[in-house]
Structure 1
Amino acid sequence: MTGPSGSVLVLTNPQDVTTDLVLRILAGRRVPVARLDPGTDLHRGAALTATYRTGDQRGTLRTPSRELDLTEVRSVWTRRPSPFDGPPELDGEESRFAASQSLWGVGGILASLPGAHYVNHPWNNRAAEHKPAQLAAAQRGGLPVPSTLITNDPEEAREFASGQAGGVVYKPLWNTPYKVDGRARQVWVREVLPHEITAAVAVCPHLFQAKVEKAYDVRLTAVGNRMFAVRIDSPDLDWRRRQSMMECTPIAVPDRVGRSVSAYLAAFRLVFGAFDFAVTAAGDWYFLECNPNGQWAWQPDSVTDSIARAVADRLQQGPEA
């Protein structure tokens, strides 16, 4: 495959092994790649400069091993960069100030490279991470969604739960880091009975959703108009809880679902999306959520390899993709 010249800029942390799958493919194609973790590398010898003048924009990224002209970047892959932190030698207000300036300065520069193709653009990622917006976009695109209530009113929540014949589940609106006695805990999707809904709901919005009587789950990974889906059979309501217990099998994507997924991506201006569906015995695919930057290397090798090549294709093609 041929494509435009220029480097691919990959923004991710050093522990992101999924990135390596794509970088090996690009290396085999002799596509130049620069890897940067902007939240930490600028405290470890990297330097970023941008200039803006009437009719002209320029920028340079210097690392201990190379210098990159930012006007010649063909693609930017926003994978899993570390949060912007202040330099380790600072603390308190000074550290918070430096971290904020890095977010708005470095983040703004790297999100505004002229002519670069983004997979995905970080601002589009952020807009697409809000679950209420996801549900609204899925509905507009023609995807069935389970009846859902988002509220901080305990009475509304109990009334909703009582009205769902098949039961309801609770899921967090955001995967917020959570610790109990200093140990990290995960908040899983779980079934909730009406009497279990207490006044604590008033503390913040909660998402309650009608439980889908599913035959199996589906993870659909979309890279542009290329879609890769696996059927997930798991003993758990939330298959992420014990991934060692689940079975994944490649599955075809119905045309109607594929069209709706394409419409969803267009609504958020996304190139990549990891969609979760609950599929009923009748074959109805109920949209649950879409992670615009979801993990995908845990799937069967054939599917993982296909996704890696699809991502590499987009990055290599750059603005022509």
Structure 2
Amino acid sequence: MAPNRHPAVLVLTNTHDVTADLVLRILSERRVPVVRVDPGVDLFGSASLTARYGTGEQRGALRTSNRELDLTRVRSVWVRRPSPYEAPPGPTEQASKFAAAQAFWGAGGVLASLSSAHYVNHPWHIRNAEYKPAQLAAADRNGFLVPDTVITTDPDEARRFCAGQAGGAVYKPVWDSRFRAADGTAQTVWVRKVDPAEITDAVSLCPHMFQATVPKAFDARVTAVGARLFGIRITSPDLDWRERQDLMTCAPIEVPEPVARSVAAYLGELGLVYGAFDFAVTAAGDWYFLECNPNGQWAWQGTGTTAAIAHAIADLLEKGPDS
């Protein structure tokens, strides 16, 4: 099939993204043309990007080692897991930093401005929706139950908040920052219970998020792909089920109608067509919003749910602006 005979799907992700492979396999079976590129890496090596602008004109081309994509013939852009824009070593460290910044603002800007394409999700919407404070505020506006939460740099405020929660409080980072132990090994900061007495003045070094503990019976993940929702119930011995995923079990679950309405409203407000929502569900059936990852992983779910999500994403990408 000629590269530009039909509008193509542009997939922005790294070479090790096996989750993307599930969707690309489906698109291949449907004979939908696809161009896959990791702009933060490939544009410094095997690929090139050109864009032209003028009065009444916007065109360009993305060339990889085996494809040439007319940027006016892109039906969808799937922003999956592209690498950061990090230039290879240059003559000086400053030159490398300059090149990386130009790539981020230049190539990133071009690929985020394809007027005829349908984005899943648009990179600027992903960025805006990743802020935890913005998530909590939007969740409240759109009808979700939200646990009492404080984000503070005041140690006394943190102690007062945690001491005032009858069911206890937990700490969670506002961003999954890279963290390494003294020996260099990578560390993950999991959600954990907090005793007010252990809170030190180190809280003043950066914003800390503390949240009232939800007396949950189980966790739930709702993966939203357009108007389609895929719910699973997660049972885990851990407070944070991500800590030991080999010990958790999951099974499909119906998403209550009020939750479904709030999901749709939340996505609409933040300009998203995909979102991975996490909830704590009480024995009384109350669904408390914890977070929404606008680019969350989904292939770890059961085989049936994973396959259904892959087909739903493929449908969005294939339909393009008509989705």
TM-score with structure 1 setting the length: 0.98
Tell me, yes or no, if structure 1 residue 315 matches structure 2 residue 291: no
1:239 to 241, 246, 249: 241
Q: Cα deviation per residue 1:249-286 (whole Å; 9 max; x = unaligned)?
A: 10000000000000000010000000000000000000
Alpha-carbon distance in 2 for matches of 1:183, 1:239: 22
Q: Which residue of 1 aligns with 2:139?
A: 138
Alpha-carbon distance in 2 for matches of 1:63, 1:18: 21
Q: Which residue of 1 aligns with 2:179?
A: 178
Structure 2 residues without counterparts, runs of 5 or longer: none
Tell me, yes or no, if structure 1 residue 97 matches structure 2 residue 124: no
Partner of 1:240, secondary structure, is: coil
Letter in 2 for 1:297: A
Residue 43 of structure 1 deviates from its aligned partner by 1.5
Q: Which residue of 2 aligns with 1:278?
A: 280
Q: Which residue of 2 aligns with 1:290?
A: 292
Letter in 2 for 1:96: K
Alpha-carbon distance in 1 for matches of 2:191, 2:135: 17
Q: Cα deviation per residue 1:96-134 (whole Å; 9 max; x = unaligned)?
A: 010000000000000001210000000000000000000
Judged with a 3 Å threshold, the aligned counterparts in structure 2 of structure 1 residues 48 and 185 are, in CA distance, closer, same or farther, namely: same
Q: Which residue of 1 aligns with 2:24?
A: 23
Alpha-carbon distance in 2 for matches of 1:253, 1:91: 54
Letter in 1 for 2:283: A
Q: Which residue of 2 aligns with 1:199?
A: 201
Alpha-carbon distance in 2 for matches of 1:213, 1:148: 15
Alpha-carbon distance in 2 for matches of 1:307, 1:91: 45
Residue 91 of structure 1 deviates from its aligned partner by 4.4
**Alignment of structure 1 residues 1-321 onto 2, 5 Å:** 5-181=6-182, 182-321=184-323
Identity %, equivalent residues: 64
Alpha-carbon distance in 1 for matches of 2:216, 2:195: 19
Alpha-carbon distance in 2 for matches of 1:179, 1:270: 32
Letter in 2 for 1:24: R
Partner of 2:72, secondary structure, is: helix
Alpha-carbon distance in 2 for matches of 1:90, 1:238: 45
Aligned residues: 318
After TM superposition, the runs of 4+ consecutive aligned structure 1 residues lying more than 3 A away are: 88-91
Alpha-carbon distance in 2 for matches of 1:203, 1:53: 48
Q: Cα deviation per residue 1:18-61 (whole Å; 9 max; x = unaligned)?
A: 00000000000000000000000012221100000101100101
Letter in 2 for 1:310: A
Alpha-carbon distance in 2 for matches of 1:305, 1:284: 28
Alpha-carbon distance in 2 for matches of 1:195, 1:225: 45
Partner of 1:103, secondary structure, is: helix
Q: Cα deviation per residue 1:137-158 (whole Å; 9 max; x = unaligned)?
A: 0001100010000000000000
Residue 88 of structure 1 deviates from its aligned partner by 3.6
Residue 86 of structure 1 deviates from its aligned partner by 1.0
Partner of 1:238, secondary structure, is: coil
Partner of 1:71, secondary structure, is: coil
Structure 1 residues without counterparts, runs of 5 or longer: none
Letter in 2 for 1:86: A
Alpha-carbon distance in 2 for matches of 1:117, 1:214: 38
Across the aligned residues of Structure 1 and Structure 2, the Cα RMSD in angstroms comes to: 0.9
Judged with a 3 Å threshold, the aligned counterparts in structure 2 of structure 1 residues 90 and 246 are, in CA distance, closer, same or farther, namely: farther
Alpha-carbon distance in 1 for matches of 2:275, 2:258: 17
